[in-house]
Amino acid sequence: MDICFRLVSLILILCILAPSPIYSKLLPTQEEAALVTNPAGFLNLARSPEVSDYMVRIRRRLHEYPELGFEEFETSKLIRAELDKMGIRYKYPLAVTGIVGYIGTGKPPFVALRADMDALAMEEDVEWEHKSKVPGKMHACGHDAHVAMLLGAAKMLQDRQDELQGTVVLVFQPAEEGGGGAKMMAEEGALENVTAIFGAHVTTRYPIGFVASRAGPILAASGFFEAVISGKGGHAAIPQDAVDPIVAASSVIVSLQHLVSRETDPLDSQVISVAKFEGGGAFNVIPNSVTIGGTFRAFSTENLYRLRQRIEEVITSQASVQRCNASVSFDDKPFYPVTENDRNLHKYFLNVAEEMLGATKVLEMKPSMGSEDFSFYSELIPGYFYFVGMKDEAVGISEMGHSPNYRVNEDSLSYGAALQASLATSIIPQLHPHEDDAMERAPHDEL
Ligand SMILES: *[C@@H]1O[C@H](CO)[C@@H](O)[C@H](O)[C@H]1NC(C)=O
Ligand SMILES: *[C@@H]1O[C@H](CO)[C@@H](O)[C@H](O)[C@H]1NC(C)=O
């Protein structure tokens, strides 16, 4: 009994005396308390259980209940509830479900951070505790992580709002996946008074702990098309009595491939992909019509519009060669401009990211034919878009976005939140009026 009691006392004393790493993590150090211009301090804070567990919890909840573009009602409600808890004021709604929050003085300079909220119309194949509970919908492009990262950044910044010499604007937007939510957010005033905007995207293209971006054009301009090619249905054994839209659509698709290979500069990247082909349902029936659809990409607005015009001409002319009629539409989804990174913001990003992660962890990336509606913001004001690596094969994270097996590396949340918070706060002192000319905007393509 006595020995037992002494042993317990000894253990208790040892526990009290021993430094506890978890406890010390919860208390910000002197350095972290004044960290609005200290990138490494932000990363430590973003990795503390208080911030990182919070982001993981938010991200998992969003992952279980994915919502499609302009339908992010519950997602938006959750974000507003979190902003309310933190005491952050916001405007709502913009663009149906969008939210714009404000941290700091409410006065210039204003610097915006953006997160997209929508999921994809697809089925999740990953078996895990927080698998999507909504049939046919999945967060397979990391937008759940982007929202969690921005809320994590908000949490860190709101606790230090007295140190801010300006305003951090939190942009939670709907419908990045084809809907052009950013365009509508901008039209409804999300960028009011904003001098610069930053957007981050998680990716398995780069390892965890790395980030990547580039100056100038980073993602392509994009458009979508759909065409109905109409003939005359009939018996598949008696083709002379029918006008076959399957063969016509096939020639159309082959001819479309010649636009990039024969009509464009091989050194100027462009793409046309036909990704949809719907027609017929029986082995012995020629259908009345076929619907095809796809996407086209280019690195300038001029080239995008040239492709648009040629796509329409080729589809209608080539269909008529096979005696079919065709109607082509481009209106279903808005065209996205080229995503162009401001050159001064690129230099600034390199400084902040290298200070936080070390120079070897900051990569220069090649432009990609992917596209982003972040371009609607960076078309209006200097913007900067970058990728946060999360690949880690040791824990099975390597699937690309839009895959049913896509998984987010939750360790990436701290990197994203720390970078976003750091980028916004470190630039504010540099944007004060007398230093305005340091931030001259680069020329942009107008769409
Ligand atoms: C933008 O600036 C104007 C003029 O200072 C001010 O009236 C307005 O409230 C500001 N808008 C926001 C969203 O802070
Ligand atoms: C194509 O349109 C013309 C003019 O409207 C019509 O006369 C013709 O029957 C149509 N052909 C087919 C195959 O639908």
Q: What is the pLDDT of residues 355-367, one digit of tens each?
A: 999 999 999 999 9
* pLDDT value for 334: 87
The number of the ligand nearest the C-alpha atom of 248 reads: 2
Q: Are residues 194 and 65 in the same domain?
A: yes
Q: Taking residues 259-266, what's their average pLDDT?
A: 96
- Identify whether 66 is part of a domain: yes
The number of the ligand nearest the C-alpha atom of 323 reads: 2
Q: Are residues 169 and 46 in the same domain?
A: yes
- Identify whether 444 is part of a domain: no
Percentage, residues of the chain above pLDDT 90: 86
pLDDT band of residue 332 (cuts 50, 70, 90) is confident
Q: Among 28-42, 49-63, 96-110, 237-251, which stretch is predicted with the lowest mean pLDDT?
A: 28-42
Q: Are residues 114 and 132 in the same domain?
A: yes
Q: Are residues 90 and 199 in the same domain?
A: yes
- Token look-up 């392509």 returns 220
* pLDDT value for 35: 62
pLDDT band of residue 36 (cuts 50, 70, 90) is low
Q: Which two tokens stand for residue 236?
A: 């598949």
Q: Are residues 271 and 375 in the same domain?
A: no
The CATH number for 287's domain is: 3.30.70.360
- Identify whether 279 is part of a domain: yes
- Identify whether 72 is part of a domain: yes
- Identify whether 98 is part of a domain: yes
* pLDDT value for 19: 41
> Is the separation of the CB atoms in 187 and 377 below 8 Å?
no
Q: Is pLDDT larger for residue 3 or for residue 166?
A: 166
Q: What atom of ligand 1 comes closest to residue 106's alpha carbon?
A: 14
Res 437 pLDDT > 80: no
Best of 193, 194, 197 to mutate for ligand 1, by most ligand atoms within 8 A of CB? 193
Q: How far apart are CA 162 and CA 181, in angstroms?
A: 32
Q: For residue range 71-87, list pLDDT tens digits in order.
A: 999 999 999 999 999 99
Q: Are residues 58 and 97 in the same domain?
A: yes
- Identify whether 420 is part of a domain: yes
Res 49 pLDDT > 90: yes
Q: Are residues 201 and 233 in the same domain?
A: no
* pLDDT value for 432: 81
* pLDDT value for 26: 46
pLDDT band of residue 10 (cuts 50, 70, 90) is very low
Q: Are residues 241 and 199 in the same domain?
A: no
> Is the separation of the CB atoms in 441 and 381 below 8 Å?
yes
Percentage, residues of the chain above pLDDT 70: 88
Q: Among 12-26, 310-324, 335-349, 391-405, which stretch is predicted with the lowest mean pLDDT?
A: 12-26
Q: How far apart are CA 58 and CA 101, in angstroms?
A: 17
Q: Among 6-15, 81-90, 394-403, which stretch is predicted with the lowest mean pLDDT?
A: 6-15
Res 441 pLDDT > 70: no
- Minimum CA distance residue for ligand 2 atom 7: 325
The CATH number for 51's domain is: 3.40.630.10
**What are the beta bridge partners of residue 226?**
293, 329
Write down which residue in 329, 357, 372 finishes a domain.
Answer: 329
pLDDT band of residue 113 (cuts 50, 70, 90) is very high
- Identify whether 314 is part of a domain: yes
Write down which residue in 307, 329, 351 finishes a domain.
Answer: 329
Q: Are residues 104 and 140 in the same domain?
A: yes
- Measure the CA angle with vertex 277, ends 271 and 281; round to 5°: 170
> 246 CA to middle of ligand 1, Å?
57
Domain region containing 56 = 31-219+338-439
Q: Are residues 56 and 170 in the same domain?
A: yes
> 325 CA to middle of ligand 2, Å?
6
pTM of the full structure: 0.86
- Minimum CA distance residue for ligand 2 atom 2: 325
Q: What amino acid is encoded at 173 in this protein?
A: Q
- Identify whether 7 is part of a domain: no
Q: What amino acid is encoded at 111 in this protein?
A: V
pLDDT band of residue 63 (cuts 50, 70, 90) is very high
- Token look-up 């050159």 returns 343
Write down which residue in 296, 312, 329 finishes a domain.
Answer: 329
Q: Among 20-29, 90-99, 396-405, which stretch is predicted with the lowest mean pLDDT?
A: 20-29
- Measure the CA angle with vertex 32, ends 29 and 34; round to 5°: 115
Q: Are residues 74 and 181 in the same domain?
A: yes
Whole-angstrom CA distances from 53 to 56, 275, 342, 357, 410 are 5, 40, 33, 21, 10
> 348 CA to middle of ligand 1, Å?
26
Q: Where are the alpha helices (DSSP H) in 224-342?
A: 245-263, 301-321
> 245 CA to middle of ligand 2, Å?
12
Q: Are residues 138 and 205 in the same domain?
A: yes
* pLDDT value for 88: 98
* pLDDT value for 433: 65
Peptide bond into 109 cis (omega under 30): yes
Q: How far apart are CA 365 and CA 342, in angstroms?
A: 15
Q: Where are the alpha helices (DSSP H) in 281-395?
A: 301-321, 343-357, 375-378
The number of the ligand nearest the C-alpha atom of 324 reads: 2
Res 244 pLDDT > 60: yes
* pLDDT value for 262: 96
Report how far Cα 427 is from the mean position of its chain's Cα atoms: 22
Number of domains present in the structure of the chain: 2
Q: Among 35-39, 51-55, 199-203, 218-222, which stretch is predicted with the lowest mean pLDDT?
A: 35-39
